[in-house]
Amino acid sequence: MPDLATRFPANPLLKPGDITASMPGLKVACLLNPGVFSFNGKTWLIVRVAERPEQSKIHVSFPVLQPDGKMMIREILLNDPDLIATDARVINYQGVDFLTTLSHLRLFSSDDGIHFKEDPDYPAIYGTGSLETFGIEDCRVSFLEGTYYLTYTAVSENGVAVGMKTTTDWKNYHSAGLIFPPHNKDCAIFEERVNGSYYAFHRPSSPTLGGNYIWLASSPDSIHWGQHQCIAKSRPGMWDSARVGAGAAPIKTAHGWLAIYHGADAMHRYCLGALLLDLQDPAKVLSRSHLPIMEPGAAYELTGFFGHVVFTNGHLVNGDQLTIYYGAADEYVCGASFSIQEILNTLD
Ligand code: MAN
């Protein structure tokens, strides 16, 4: 593959058949987009588990949480003229958008970074309340001053937003509620303060003027965010022409903050690229990938729940080695390694 990634020979590391559904009547449709962290001497993934009932030939059916936590299955006839079902991930019925799957987050740990298993001592995290009725997704994990910050996508009929939880032991969580209201996702908090402030990437979307761009915000307390600045836009005619969004927290290098991001084109082909940001003023973009550093190429990236996708929101750094864990074809969890120097060499 003509990109900078060395894919793990063991890929896919996790696939839907490897785990049991959260309740009878549901099937795990996809395992994807894990956050990554080190804890208790192990490598951990917080994986997005997307579920739905077994699909019949005549209905599309999908679970929705009630604000009180109970689950309900919605069923719509495939030949209903009010149904638009052209994207495997979302449907529109009578003018209202729904997700085809309901996601929660599950913890997996590993001694070698390749073989992961669930640990019953560390329970799954489910959406709660009226702002997470369509589930929680794509959790970034940042470790800052002794605390893990979880920033994740909270989805409901009210929109797609960013929720935050903090933990120190992965058993007890403090919820900060939504830190960015709809429409927003792809939020990652920097793993150290810059000039005394917390920093975070986020990705608001504007349907008319503007677009799906990466923004930077700062905060005195990690909860209240301001000083918003747009730092990277989609680029017409390029691999990231339709949308861009940050991956995990940026990597501090001698040359600047190195951020790995995803970009998609109008055909929903998702690739990865890099941004280099000024160490003192991360809103200053020093350089940006012209070509993707990783693009879908392996069979498990081309074919799956939603093909032609590589999407990362979690990585580990060890010297020059960057190990990313990523969602492939919106169905599998995979791993790949990069040389940080090699990525930097592609940036002007
Ligand atoms: C997009 C995709 C889906 C995701 C929804 C809600 O449609 O990223 O995977 O479920 O947004 O976040």
* Contact 99 CB / ligand 1 (< 6 Å): yes
- Let me know: does 215 contact 203? Beta carbons within 8 Å: yes
Q: Which atom belonging to ligand 1 lies closest to the Cα atom of 32?
A: 9
Q: pLDDT for 192-236, tens place per residue?
A: 999 999 999 999 999 899 999 999 999 999 999 999 999 999 999
SS3 content of the chain, % helix, strand, coil (to 5): 5, 55, 45
Q: pLDDT for 306-346, tens place per residue?
A: 999 999 999 999 999 999 999 999 999 999 999 999 999 99
Please enumerate in sequence order all residues whose Cβ is within 8 A of that of 117, keeping only pairs 6 or more positions apart, or say none: 108, 109, 110
User: How far, in Å, are 38, 78, 269 from residue 343 at the CA level?
Assistant: 23, 46, 21
Distance CA 149, CA 31 (A): 21
Q: pLDDT for 10-32, tens place per residue?
A: 999 999 999 999 999 999 999 99
Specify if 261 maps to a domain: yes
Structure tokens at 118: 């669930």
Our count of domains for the chain comes to: 1
Structure tokens at 266: 């109008």
Structure tokens at 341: 């120097």
Beta bridge partners of 90: 99
Specify if 1 maps to a domain: no
| Residue minimizing CA distance to atom 9 of ligand 1 | 89
% of the chain beyond a pLDDT of 90: 97
Specify if 292 maps to a domain: yes
What residue numbers bound the domain in which 242 lies?
A: 12-345
* Contact 153 CB / ligand 1 (< 6 Å): yes
| Residue 242: how many other CB atoms lie within 10 Å | 19
* Contact 155 CB / ligand 1 (< 6 Å): yes
Task: Inform me whether the pLDDT recorded for 71 exceeds 80.
Answer: yes
In this predicted structure, what is the pLDDT of residue 260?
A: 98
Q: Which atom belonging to ligand 1 lies closest to the Cα atom of 99?
A: 10
- The single-letter code of the amino acid at 323 is T
Specify if 230 maps to a domain: yes
Specify if 2 maps to a domain: no
Task: Inform me whether the pLDDT recorded for 274 exceeds 90.
Answer: yes
Task: Inform me whether the pLDDT recorded for 267 exceeds 60.
Answer: yes
Specify if 258 maps to a domain: yes
Q: pLDDT for 75-122, tens place per residue?
A: 999 999 999 999 999 999 999 999 999 999 999 999 999 999 999 999
Helices (H), the chain: 299-302, 340-345
* Contact 30 CB / ligand 1 (< 6 Å): no
Q: Which atom belonging to ligand 1 lies closest to the Cα atom of 153?
A: 12
Q: pLDDT for 117-168, tens place per residue?
A: 999 999 999 999 999 999 999 999 999 999 999 999 999 999 999 999 999 9
Q: Which atom belonging to ligand 1 lies closest to the Cα atom of 330?
A: 9
Specify if 105 maps to a domain: yes
User: How far, in Å, are 25, 42, 200, 328 from residue 238 at the CA level?
Assistant: 42, 38, 26, 21
* Contact 89 CB / ligand 1 (< 6 Å): yes
Pocket test for ligand 1, best of 52, 104, 153, 162 (most atoms within 8 A of CB): 153
CATH code at position 297:
2.115.10.20
Structure tokens at 141: 């994990």
Distance CA 127, CA 137 (A): 9
Task: Inform me whether the pLDDT recorded for 1 exceeds 60.
Answer: no
Distance CA 67, CA 153 (A): 17
In this predicted structure, what is the pLDDT of residue 67?
A: 87
